[in-house]
Structure 1
Amino acid sequence: MNNPRNTIQFDEGWNFVQKAITKLTNILEGLPEPQFTTQENMMIYETIYNMCTQKPPYDHTARLYEKYQESYVEYILTTVLPSLNEKNGELMLRELVIRWSNHKIMVDCLSKFFHYIDRYYVVRLYLIPCKEVGLLTFRDLVYYKIKGKVRDAVICLINREREGEQIDRVLLKNVLDFFVEIGMGEMDYYEDFEEAMINDAAAYYSQKASIWVLDSSCYDYMLKAHECFRQEKDRVSCYLHPSTETKLLKVRLKRLMVQFYAKFS
């Protein structure tokens, strides 16, 4: 912008910032856009700084804080959610990993542009910091919308692996890391998935055990149970959270041993 030290009307300043946000989302979408230069980054920051430090009624801090969040909302509703909703299963999981990675880049970039708002306005009014606003918006608009589909798709992949199919473990690790990261220090969101996964594992091993007791000797049954134990420990080490190990192995042992004692004791 020309001479950013002059008084900046809100529409004038926001149009400039909006162009930068559009450029950023274009980059994230893989559209042909050059990367931000150091000079561009400085001009965007200075424009926001100047809009926040002008004397009333030209102090636009409050409106900028609102528009900051609205930028995430608009991008998620018009681009991110449609791209996720049109996919299912493994393709949807891959899209989620990409979208979450891009969103973190977007939050990191925009929170730097709006850093001055964090330093004074947010601190003074005890508001949510800009970076947290960006992450919470993804949680509220994306996670809560698709968590059931994501959970079911992950459990489906785990069961396919239990049946001997080779799956993309890196993908699963990235998705389960998303459950941890979206909690921002809390494990509630991962534990929601974990509970569903363990319940499914209980049903899976109950079914397997009821079949094995019909066509296996005591020795063969124990071999199969031991192999399941080894495989579940391997899953935990590869893509599940370490806190899951004890719970998962406990339910597996319980389901397999109930059938074992019913037949062989």
Structure 2
Amino acid sequence: MKRKLTLEEGMSILQEGISKAMLILDGYPTGSLFTCEEYMKLYDCVYHMCVQQPPYEYCAELYEIFKKALEESITSRVMPALKDKSQITLLYEVWNMWTKYKVMSKFLGGFFLYLDRHFTEDRNTASLNELSICCFRDLVFSELYPKILEAAISLINQDREDNSDCRDLLKNVSTLFIEIGSGKMHYYDNFETAILASSANYYNRLFPQWLLYYPPIDIFMKAQNCLNQEKDRASQFLHQTSVEKLLQVVHEQLLGQTALDQAKLYEKQKTECGDCSIQYQEVLSGCAGLNLGEGSSRV
């Protein structure tokens, strides 16, 4: 029979493993950090500290040790890496750190795996995986989410202007918003809402410029081209339902009632100036029901 491990003795064994696991956030490959024997030694340590008889049963203490290790990894490595980052560099780095953090927390969770079987279910508390997500969300997202969201919207607008090679990054950001919500869509839904509002604003500003410089037929061709581009762009990083909502917003600004109202105002101004050229509002009225594209709804 193995002798009893005190909390202090167990902690001295685990601390070395925790410190090594944190090196994953510095870019160290997992294969270079632990041998199988070292990994099993750490797992066995936690296992025995969980199954010992009171007062040597330390499940609750080990759960707190795991949590504190996660929190320390974030405050000592993740947040400093994100400090002073903004726009696209922030998006790249937050995805990079989230990816490494998930690997680290899974690796670290392997040491403490017996807690999920012997403690979290019995106490009806967060699993180790759930806890790792909560720590990142509480310590990183609570502070940086507005900046991350703003940077993502800015990147989408930039992509409209110059077709920048950023859609894989936007896909990663979209995935991050879902994963950080533990399967709930709160962060992603906010992302979708911000995209729709930003897109409506973008095309609402763009359409009056078209009225000034382009004949009706060119405007309709440009509008259809924008719809096609939006569908192609958004399909690469948004859910299909979000893509359909986005196309409806763009359609409304370029070919729907919003565009028609702007055209009426423009025609009124032209008439007052004595210009009797073709009326945009009549053509817009005839095109208001244009299809948004195969597989999309009609407005």
Say yes or no: TM over 0.5.
yes
Aligned to 1:52: 50
> After TM superposition, what 4+ stretches of structure 1 lie above 4 angstroms from structure 2?
none
Q: What SS is found at the alignment partner of 1:128?
A: coil
231, 239, 242: which one aligns with 2:240? 242
Distance between the aligned counterparts of 1:199 and 1:50, measured in 2? 55
2:96 partner letter = I
Counterpart residue number, 2:26: 29
Look up the match of 2:222.
224
TM-score (normalizing by structure 1) = 0.94
1:229 positional shift:
0.1
Q: Tell me the TM-score normalized by structure 2.
A: 0.83
The residue number in structure 2 matching 1:61 is: 59
Q: Distance in 2 between matches of 1:215 and 1:174?
A: 38
Structure 2 unaligned segments of length 5 or more: list them: 268-279, 282-299
Residues 45-84 of structure 1, C-alpha deviations (whole Å, 9 max, x = no match): 0000111111211111111111111111111112111211
The answer for the alignment partner of 1:13 in structure 2 is: 10
Partner AA of 1:27 in structure 2: I
Number of aligned pairs? 262
- Does 2:82 match 1:84? yes
Q: CA deviation at 1:32?
A: 9.0
How far apart in 1 are the matches of 2:224 and 2:162? 16
- 2:167 is aligned with what amino acid? R
Q: In structure 2, do the counterparts of structure 1 residues 169 and 22 end up closer, same or farther at CA, with 3 Å as the change threshold?
A: same
User: Separation in 1 of the partners of 2:159 and 2:134?
Assistant: 33
- Judge which range, 6-15 or 91-100, deviates more: 6-15
Q: Which has the higher contact order (CA 8 A, sep 6+)?
A: 1
Q: Relative to structure 2, which stretch is displaced further, 150-159 or 27-36?
A: 27-36
Identity of aligned residues (%): 36
Q: 1:155, CA displacement in angstroms? A: 1.0
Larger radius of gyration: 2
1:130 aligned onto 2:116: no
Match of 2:152 among 145, 151, 154: 154
Any residues of structure 2 matched to 1:100-115 within 5 Å, and which?
A: 100-115=98-113
Rounded Cα–Cα distance in structure 1 between residues aligned with 2:159 and 2:149:
16
Following the alignment from structure 1 to structure 2, what is the Cα–Cα distance between the partners of residues 243 and 102?
30
- Cα offset, 1:186, TM superposition: 1.4
One-letter amino acid of the counterpart of residue 87, structure 1: K
2-structure distance, mates of 1:108, 1:80: 16
